[in-house]
Structure 1
């Protein structure tokens, strides 16, 4: 009997050891708290929003005049005695820019006037000689007729008849000569008048005038300088004051540009001005792979020829579902966005549309107001449970732009 009771007690103790909880088996106290569950990580999300977007291309280049007009001297050897325009001045067509000394031309004009007067006197003298020769010719012809009549009756001999014939021929010759003298005198007068007109033209060109309205870009003329036709331009004018951005763009961007597109141009150190694409080059440089674009700009005193400038061209626009650029991941598997639904991350393949500096259009794969991970592909993966913290889309976009 004592042995039977001992074996039953031993069996009960063994059962208690086998069935005891692990915590008790390990010697833990029954009052210790259970371990806390692991918290889901906090992830910044933004909502996909429907908004307009514009795709832009950047162009850089130099401000240049649309058309440059060179103004020089048309007369040789005259001294510059007055300068009436300077660099930066806006001038009208016909405005006097400089004046050359005209004293030499005025002296030649006076000489030309005397030559014209002399030619007119020669004409008068030749006309008098013509009148005298005509009178002598009439008298000689009358004498010849009388002598011929008398010779036919035998009253006058052949010798006298020959004298009358010779005299009439001589008077006719003098008449022809006198008439040629008139023609010569008139030719001298015409030459003197032509010379005077040339001198008057030279006198008018002593005033160097602007051939067109515009902006004076450069003045080479100096007081006292001897003007020369071969000496180059005295002034350079931007026709009508039109300044353009002459820019080079890559061949990949060139195809998106077209005449008439609006451009925001910011000169170095200046304020932005609005322009339009005036010309897109039809060719690409084979060495640089760049094409040329000309952007017309409005007249402005802040634009400086030769200054560097940057332009932004709006090449396309649309209304679509937009997310920050940082929410899009592109790799060898394609383009994806991480969407958070019911606190679980889902990776979706998407189709992209237009893009600007900070946002991208999602044409397929994400609906409006869905929450997307602001910085995808860094902290979470497909199926992870997260604690989404919604951020302002504008703030995230501004950070992405920077």
Structure 2
């Protein structure tokens, strides 16, 4: 039997569409490429891990010998040429302070023409004292001179007449001697009266309180109406010439490094202005309690410099060649200052030292170190002499 086969148009179209789907070979090729990419990624990760680990095989942790030995930081400071600079503090004061009080008999103060902060010249009147009674005494003393002078003139006239009569024999030589003595006594009384008048005038001149030298009046402790006398104490204080100074308190070791004539820079507390000064005197004694001495630094007058104020000073001292260490490296006890050094066997050794000047950069070691030693910088207080350490160079 013959059958005709017919092709359905729809089936034909569907078959054409299905022919566009990937074949089994294409799918196998895609999976192969995916596995190749994954293999490359895994290999790259392994290579990166090896590079980060340095290619070394990890070993189990085992404590090394160094973990039982403390590590300390050390430094060989060397020795350098250092310009000496000493920092200190002190009090401002008048270089030559002159207390002025009542010199004469004293009395009631009539007026005070000057005040603190005024400049005065030598001999200028600072306070006027009432002299009404003393003036009357001066007048009386002047009158006594006239009385004594009259008596002396009368005694001289009597002597002259007696000398004329003695030649005629009317007066004896004894009378002449008596009249001569009377004349001499009268002349002497004139001299006494004049001396008393001079004394009275000198006392009156001392009633007023005057400036013994030119300078700046620092203090005034008297007012009009006040009664003053020789025991009243200082009524005025004068800075001669207005000159000032700083009384710098310096440690006895550093005081030896300061020379007379050294130049310093002073900064008063409460301001940024600086002033130049010169050391003109060093204290010959050192305070037993503070172990400090005084360096007196002369200053020119400036309104910003007030006696009694506080100030800091930086003084230039002699140039030294010595090591310098930070403050943390230097220790001290009852035996003095010392440092710990690490010897060639890595053993801690105590080394006594003598400290010098102190600055912001550190403390100068005046003696005890050459600068080549390995000095323990920190934690020296936790070490003991003879201990073995692991030095780490700063």
The alpha-carbon deviation at position 355 of structure 1 amounts to: 8.0
Partners in 1 of 2:175 and 2:306 — Cα distance?
Answer: 76
Are 1:222 and 2:255 matched, yes or no? no
- Output the TM-score relative to the length of structure 2: 0.63
| 2:210 corresponding residue in structure 1 | 209
* Equivalent of residue 132 in structure 1, options 155, 158, 161: 161
Secondary structure, in 3 states, of the residue corresponding to 2:107?
coil
* Equivalent of residue 43 in structure 2, options 22, 25, 30: 30
* Equivalent of residue 113 in structure 1, options 142, 158, 173: 142
- Output the TM-score relative to the length of structure 1: 0.62
Gap change, CA 1:177 and 1:329, over 3 Å in 2: closer
| 1:269 corresponding residue in structure 2 | 270
Gap change, CA 1:175 and 1:333, over 3 Å in 2: closer
* Equivalent of residue 297 in structure 2, options 287, 295, 298: 295
Gap change, CA 1:34 and 1:324, over 3 Å in 2: farther
Q: Is the 8 A contact 1:79 1:101 kept in 2?
A: yes
Secondary structure, in 3 states, of the residue corresponding to 2:103?
coil
Secondary structure, in 3 states, of the residue corresponding to 1:305?
coil
Gap change, CA 1:332 and 1:120, over 3 Å in 2: closer
| 2:10 corresponding residue in structure 1 | none
| 1:76 corresponding residue in structure 2 | 105
* Equivalent of residue 123 in structure 2, options 90, 94, 97: 94
Partners in 2 of 1:38 and 1:78 — Cα distance?
Answer: 103
Q: Specify every segment of 5 or more residues in structure 2 that has no aligned partner in the other structure, as ranges.
A: 1-38, 55-79, 332-338, 344-355, 365-369, 380-390
Q: Is the 8 A contact 2:221 2:234 kept in 1?
A: yes
Q: Is the 8 A contact 1:54 1:356 kept in 2?
A: no
Q: Is the 8 A contact 1:54 1:355 kept in 2?
A: no
- Cα RMSD (Å): 4.0
Q: Structure 2 matches for 1:348-387, cutoff 5 A?
A: 356-358=359-361
The alpha-carbon deviation at position 178 of structure 1 amounts to: 2.1
TM superposition outliers: structure 1 runs of 4+ over 6 Å: 323-326, 328-331
Gap change, CA 1:94 and 1:334, over 3 Å in 2: farther
Q: Specify every segment of 5 or more residues in structure 1 that has no aligned partner in the other structure, as ranges.
A: 1-23, 40-50, 142-166, 336-352, 366-374, 384-402
In the alignment of these two chains, the number of paired residues is 291
The alpha-carbon deviation at position 30 of structure 1 amounts to: 2.8
Are 1:63 and 2:92 matched, yes or no? yes
| 1:249 corresponding residue in structure 2 | 250
The alpha-carbon deviation at position 54 of structure 1 amounts to: 3.7
Q: Is the 8 A contact 2:269 2:309 kept in 1?
A: yes
Partners in 2 of 1:99 and 1:354 — Cα distance?
Answer: 54
The alpha-carbon deviation at position 138 of structure 1 amounts to: 2.2
Q: Structure 2 matches for 1:163-242, cutoff 5 A?
A: 168-169=171-172, 172-242=173-243
Q: Is the 8 A contact 1:53 1:355 kept in 2?
A: no
The alpha-carbon deviation at position 76 of structure 1 amounts to: 1.2
